[in-house]
């Protein structure tokens, strides 16, 4: 797969236009289908870094888990449930994210390039990243204090790795994800309590 567009340029294209425009989640993914896993992760991270009203931020962890499951199932492109594909969000959310992170993305862009691209196509690599995203997504969905940004940064590394086709950045995301899970395992009793409470809302 050729390196057709960078994360920074992708965000610039999405940010061009009226800030009050509604962007359809499914149509945006279709427009950048060749980068859809990375873009999907990037979009679900918006509520983590840029507060979004109407409770949409609560979906971030669950959608991250959905992406992880699809990588485990070795799907070439992510499948999005209809009720999610039809959701819309304001272009202003993209603009706000770009405003906050454009400088950092510029630095990352200078370091990133397509390399070790087999990591994105090899079944075992996709399975490992999928499993990590499932766990990270579940943990992100839990109300664990002071973890949104650390989880967000780790998942952002996965997102940028997919978009940039950079196997090293992808590997960094995997290492950071494993390290974060190991650290939180030290507090497993507390996390299990939160998980039981979280699942209790659906029972």
Question: Looking at residues 77-105, what average pLDDT do you find?
Answer: 84
For residue 111, give the nearest of 153, 150, 169, 162 by alpha carbon.
169
For residue 108, give the nearest of 49, 64, 153 by alpha carbon.
153
End-to-end CA distance of the chain: 44
pLDDT band at 152 (very low <50, low <70, confident <90, very high): confident
pLDDT over threshold 50, residue 203: yes
pLDDT over threshold 80, residue 63: yes
CA distance 155 to 146: 16
Give the angle subtended at the CA of 15 by the CAs of 177 and 49, to the nearest 5°: 35
Q: Which residues contact 46 (CB under 8 A, 6 or more apart)?
A: 52, 89, 93, 94, 97
Q: Where are the domains of the chain?
A: 7-200
pLDDT over threshold 90, residue 133: yes
pLDDT digits (tens, 9 = 90+) for 74-88: 888 888 888 888 888
Please tell me the predicted confidence (pLDDT) of residue 1. Answer: 39
Q: Is 52 helix (H, G, I), strand (E, B) or coil?
A: coil
- 164, 193 in Cβ contact below 8 A? no
pLDDT digits (tens, 9 = 90+) for 153-165: 899 899 999 988 8
What would the two tokens of residue 183 be?
Answer: 């650290």
pLDDT band at 4 (very low <50, low <70, confident <90, very high): low
Q: Which of 2-11, 68-77, 94-103, 132-141 has the lowest mean pLDDT?
A: 2-11
Q: Which residues contact 72 (CB under 8 A, 6 or more apart)?
A: 126, 127, 130, 131, 134
pTM: 0.78
């Amino acid at each position: 797969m050729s390196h057709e567009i960078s994360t920074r340029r992708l965000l610039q294209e999405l940010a061009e236009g009226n800030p009050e425009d509604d962007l359809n989640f499914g149509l945006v993914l279709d427009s950048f289908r060749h980068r859809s896993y990375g873009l999907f992760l990037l979009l679900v991270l918006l509520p983590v870094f840029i507060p979004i009203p109407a409770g949409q931020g609560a979906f971030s962890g669950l959608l991250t888990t959905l992406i992880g499951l699809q990588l485990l199932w070795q799907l070439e492109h992510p499948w999005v449930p209809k009720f999610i594909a039809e959701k819309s969000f304001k272009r202003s959310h993209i603009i706000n994210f770009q405003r906050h992170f454009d400088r950092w993305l510029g630095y990352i862009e200078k370091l990133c390039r397509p390399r070790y691209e087999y990591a994105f196509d090899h079944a075992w690599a996709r399975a490992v990243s999928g499993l990590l995203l499932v766990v990270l997504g579940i943990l992100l969905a839990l109300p664990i204090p002071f973890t949104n940004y650390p989880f967000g940064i780790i998942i952002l590394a996965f997102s940028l790795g997919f978009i940039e086709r950079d196997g090293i950045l992808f590997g960094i995301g995997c290492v950071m994800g494993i390290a974060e899970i190991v650290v939180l395992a030290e507090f497993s009793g507390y996390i299990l309590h939160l998980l039981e409470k979280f699942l209790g809302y659906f029972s």
